[in-house]
Structure 1
Amino acid sequence: MNRHAAREKALQILFQLDMNDIPPEQAMEEHPESLEADDYLKGLVKGVAGHKDAIDQTIVEHLEKWSIDRIASVEKTILRIAIYEMSYRDDIPENVAINEAVELAHSFGDAKSGRFVNGVLSNIMT
């Protein structure tokens, strides 16, 4: 599985975590075929889940005229993945994390999701 596909699957698993408030291990058990073959996917899910509070604080600090509670779960999950990659993964350049997040937002969010995600992540970089 390539990293883009891993991010898509991680988005689905992390979205499920957010919506159902279940432990990461339980959510990952529901996707064994993807996880057993992909260490990057496992790392994303565990990393985002493990650093969720710090990542959410980063989001809060870089929102303009928004509160984190107003962000749709899809966009919030995409932001968490990108911020995890930007903050905790040395092997992912920030611009790659942002571009991948915007692509995920275009695929899984609404018409304005890509622009919103790009704006928040750009604020973090500055």
Structure 2
Amino acid sequence: MRRTEQREHILRVIFGTEFYPPEELDEQIDLYFEQTGIDDEKDRAYIGEKAKKIAAKVPELDKLINEHTTGWKTVRMNKADLSILRLAVYEMKMDEDVPVSVAINEAVELAKRYGGEDSPSFVNGVLARIIK
């Protein structure tokens, strides 16, 4: 599976964390793999580990996002946009394997696919403020 596909699965897992308690993350990841039919161990390990790392950093990620938005704090954001931002900010600030430009480009593409009409420009604008 390509990194872009893995990222999309990570986004879906991260999005799901909004709807169940943090202590159920491992169980929810296993359930996600069962439902999607992902059986490659390397893909499962990468997706699961990165989703757990992001989930563990949500307070820190949200703080950073909130510091760079005006009028749109994380509690008011569309959950798809928020999940995309969390993934992108994690990759930009905490994942040395992902170049910043790739994290931003992938986030905008995910926003086109999963967000609303204004999501790509919103996500791009927030991420642009964070990298300054």
User: What is the TM-score normalised by the length of structure 2?
Assistant: 0.88
Q: Which amino acid aligns with 1:34?
A: I
1:13-52 pair list within 5 angstroms: 13-22=13-22, 23-32=24-33, 33-34=37-38, 36-38=41-43, 39-52=45-58
Aligned partners of 1:25 and 1:56: how far apart in 2?
A: 22
| Corresponding position of 1:10 | 10
The C-alpha deviation readout for 1:21-74, integer Å capped at 9, x for no partner, is 343212101123437341331232011111111111111111122222111100
| SS of alignment partner, residue 92 of structure 1 | coil
| Corresponding position of 2:65 | 59
Aligned partners of 1:52 and 1:59: how far apart in 2?
A: 10
Q: Which 4+ residue blocks in structure 1 deviate beyond 3 angstroms? A: none
Please give the root-mean-square deviation of Cα atoms over the aligned residues, in Å: 1.5
Deviation (angstroms), 1:18: 1.0
The C-alpha deviation readout for 1:79-113, integer Å capped at 9, x for no partner, is 00001111111111101000000000000111110
The sequence identity of aligned pairs, in percent, is: 36
Aligned partners of 1:34 and 1:101: how far apart in 2?
A: 22
Structure 1 unaligned regions, length at least 5: none
| Aligned with residue 122 of structure 1, among 106, 113, 128 | 128
Are the counterparts in 2 of residues 44 and 81 from structure 1 also a CA contact under 8 Å?
no
Whether 2:96 is the aligned partner of 1:90: answer: yes
Structure 2 unaligned regions, length at least 5: none
User: What is the TM-score normalised by the length of structure 1?
Assistant: 0.92
What is the total number of aligned residue pairs between the two structures? 126
